[in-house]
Amino acid sequence: MRLVETVRELQALADAERAMGRRIALVPTMGALHAGHVALCELARRCADRVWVSIFVNPTQFDQPEDLARYPRNLPADLECCRRAGVDAVFAPPAHELYPAGAQTWVEVAELSRGLCGASRPGHFRGVATVVAKLLLAAKPHVAVFGEKDFQQLAVVRRLARDLCLDVEIVGAPIVREADGLALSSRNARLDAQARCEALCLSRALDAAEREVAAGERSAARVLALVARELAAAARAELDYAELRDPETLAPAREPLTGPVLLALAVRFRTPDAAVRLIDNRVLTPPLRERRDEATEAIP
């Protein structure tokens, strides 16, 4: 496995691989790797001949300096994880490689960055879009793999690639969960025992909403009320948002719920050290029979 620290070296490596007709897949990460990242690498391997992982804690996507300072960093452990996962190269640049002195260029996906995480984390998605554009230009991949847990981020990246005419396929990977249902996240390590137990309210709320919609519930208000009750059972949970959105455009879902709808959650859990913010989501699908009936009624 090759460790690369400069943009110039990574671009030269990409040019060489492309000249030999090999497909490159990039898995962008901020380190603190876990089984969810390994699953991204496994999907990347099915899409390409070479799997590259970037490890870079991007300072411009943090709206709180203390959150950036607390973000877990352990490059030796991350490199060992990549070796075990069969990664071919790791790009782990210092900050000045991606943000040289005097840097003043930003990438922003305007509409998709509004609402949800964008509402409570100003500037977050501008930082995400900017660093992803830099990583794609540095690695020159044919494919880039992102997890669906960060659903809004995935939508922003897809829009970015389309709008900038980037020659890269953006692939979304399903959420990987612990055995008890908690979505894997680097932030889970910052939960104490009680907060870790209470964090299961996220998956319980998603499960409950999925059952209700599958059973025929079509009221967004009633679905969100059910979600609120599940989340309220966690004493140390502070709701950031619980929203129903169109899974393609991220626009607010329309009443009644007649097609697939994204339920997106963000909750902060108080710990002795600080609040840990977790996100989760699921696409809820109304019964197929009802959707067919509505489609039939719509035909003049």
Q: Name the amino acid, one letter, at 12.
A: A
- List active site positions: 37
By the 10 Å C-beta count (0-12 exposed, 13-18 middle, 19+ buried), 15 is classed as exposed
The C-alpha atoms of residue 265 and residue 275 are separated, in whole angstroms, by 16
By the 10 Å C-beta count (0-12 exposed, 13-18 middle, 19+ buried), 199 is classed as buried
Q: Please enumerate, as own/partner, the contacts of 205-213 that have beta carbons within 8 Å and a separation of 24 or more.
A: 205/230, 205/231, 205/242, 205/265, 206/263, 206/265, 206/280, 206/281, 206/282, 207/181, 209/263, 209/282, 209/284, 210/263, 210/282, 210/284, 213/257, 213/261, 213/284, 213/285, 213/286
Q: Is residue 107 within 8 Å of residue 160, measured between CB atoms? A: yes
Q: Name the amino acid, one letter, at 16.
A: A
The C-alpha atoms of residue 139 and residue 16 are separated, in whole angstroms, by 12
